[in-house]
Amino acid sequence: MPRASTEESGIERQIMLPWRQSLLMSKQNIFVRLGRAVITASGIFLGIAFLSSVLTSSAILSGQGELPPELQARNAWLVVMSLLVATLGIVNSMLMSVTERYKEIGTMKCLGALDTFIVRLFLIESAMLGLIGAALGALVGSGVICLVYLVGKGPAAFRHVGQAVIGGGLQLPLTLSLVLAVLLGGLLAILAAIYPAWRAAKMPPAAALRSEI
Amino acid sequence: MATAGVKEYIVRTKDLTKEFILGGTVLRALDSVQLDIRRGEYISIMGPSGSGKSTLFNMIGGLDKPTQGSVFIDETDMAQLDAFELAWLRCRKIGYIFQTFNLIPVMTALENVTLPMIFAGTPTDDAMSKGMKLLQKVGLGDRYHHKPSELSGGQQQRVAIARALANDPGIILADEPTGNLDLKTGKEIITLLKQMNTEQGVTIISATHDLKMIDVSDRVVWIRDGRIERIEERSEIQLRVGEMEGEPV
């Protein structure tokens, strides 16, 4: 019977990585490899900054009168573009940061890590980076546009701030749209990390350990 | 040696074969290897590079799947284990030591040693105190908060040995443990491994081409072209150690 040997030790058969520990490890990974983390986060930062600037300027413009339909269409196009930029940026940097850690992943598996631990660590890490990058991006993107209008038109530009135009007739209050943009950044970061993290976790440890980068 | 009632062999391989496909041709790295390893033994797998000893190491450690044949750890066929059981086995039954040390670079020495215990579900405080004890045992008690990059090669390998012992495994698998170390440090690591072997009774399986290893081994398995060429017992080895010890110390 194959299981007999594992029970003789009398210790409960378990393999675990508590959530608190996962959070600590992911945080440590971000802070120790800060340069790497900044590059990953800047992918999402740029995308969300772009998106927020589009949202903010549409809100300021629509406060001064209804946006003409062709401008609305252009706005929707810009929103889509900014999301694509953000997604590609983060997929690329997540792929890089997982690939350069193959050896570490192999080692963790030798020490008894389950595939799900590896995936979880990478997802937490990228969610943290995504949310931080997106929050900064929303602040900076929105702030820069506000500054541009302030310089160009003076405080009068903010007398009537309308709703952010998403496109397809959908309008949202500006603050809500910015909060959603930040959450979206976090979500995109997680989605982009799933594939590389899962692929890395599935590798046989021997193959992961052999990789030299 | 084995106490009464405990199975004599901790590792057995049966017809173990591993093939790699390289550029369309099949390369047979291991060819029907039969090897029985006794509990508490210090065994060295010797052979030139490319002889298949690292492949054998990976098979015994459950790090790769054989093309044919099977590996039994404590009479458990590793091919029968699911992913969870395999992780459990790697975590609690086997400690791994590598030529390149393979410590987690972002973690301190102590965190590296406690990681396998965390996976095994040991409470943090217990893991910490045991980690410190293990680091003291390998002579690094005062360096517990250092990162691997702040430690010398020999020190990193000591941390790796402490980490390998974290969950009191029955087996320590070492792949060229002295390969990246100078002569003196390599000797120290070998002495430390032998000490763990005699004090704790842990079975040590070491793939190596370091002849210094022969001196402490109970048995030496010579491997060539994926086959076992010969197996020498301690008594036969002893006669020849003098000849091998040509290196200046």
Residue B4 lies in a domain: no
Mean per-residue pLDDT for B45-57? Answer: 89
Q: What is the rounded CA–CA span in Å between residue A15 and residue B120? A: 5
The structural domain count of chain B equals 1
Q: Which residues of B touch A (CB under 8 A)?
A: 58, 61, 63-65, 73-77, 80-81, 83-85, 87-92, 96, 98, 102-107, 115-116, 118-121, 163, 167
> Chain A partners of B80 at a C-beta cutoff of 8 Å?
2
Asked if B119 lies within 8 A of A32 by C-beta distance, the reply is no
Per mean pLDDT, which range of A14-23, B27-36, B154-163, B183-192 is the poorest? A14-23
Disruptive mutation site among B92, B100, B111, B114 for chain A (greatest number of A CBs within 10 Å): B92
* Residue count of chain A: 213
pTM of the model: 0.84
Among residues B10, B62, B59, which one has the least CA distance to residue B37? B10
Asked if B91 lies within 8 A of A115 by C-beta distance, the reply is no
Residue B25 lies in a domain: no
And the tokens for B7?
Answer: 């199975």
Asked if B87 lies within 8 A of A15 by C-beta distance, the reply is yes
At residue B241, the pLDDT reads 53
The verdict on A12 touching B (C-beta cutoff 8 Å) is yes
Domain around B117: 42-62+81-235
B169 pLDDT band (50/70/90 cuts)?
Answer: very high
For chain A, domain boundaries: 34-207
Of A17, A205, A206, the CB nearest to B119: A17
Residues with Cβ within 8 Å of residue A151, at least 6 apart in sequence: none
Q: What is the rounded CA–CA span in Å between residue A164 and residue A143? A: 15
User: What are the pLDDT digits (tens) for B105-133?
Assistant: 999 999 999 999 999 999 999 999 999 99
Per mean pLDDT, which range of A76-85, A98-107, B132-141 is the poorest? A76-85
Return the residue matching tokens 């309008």.
Answer: A171
Q: What is the rounded CA–CA span in Å between residue B1 and residue A201? A: 38
Mean per-residue pLDDT for B216-241? Answer: 84
Question: How many Å is the maximal CA-CA distance in chain B?
Answer: 53
Please report, as a single letter, which amino acid is at residue B105: P
State the CATH number of the domain containing residue B157. Answer: 3.40.50.300
Percentage of chain B exceeding pLDDT 90: 79
Cα B66-B99-B242 angle, rounded to 5 deg: 100
Indicate if the pLDDT at residue B95 is higher than 80: yes
The mean pLDDT of chain B is: 89
> Chain B partners of A33 at a C-beta cutoff of 8 Å?
106
Among residues B61, B37, B47, B70, which one has the least CA distance to residue B226? B47
Mean per-residue pLDDT for B195-214? Answer: 92
Distance in Å, alpha carbon of B18 to nearest chain A alpha carbon: 13
Q: Is A112 left (phi over 0), alpha (psi -120 to 50) or beta?
A: left
Of A5, A111, A204, the CB nearest to B75: A5
Residue B210 lies in a domain: yes
| Interface confidence (ipTM) of the complex | 0.86
And the tokens for B247?
Answer: 């290196």
Residue B22 lies in a domain: no
User: What are the pLDDT digits (tens) for A97-141?
Assistant: 888 888 999 999 999 999 999 999 999 998 999 999 999 999 999
And the tokens for B28?
Answer: 């047979």
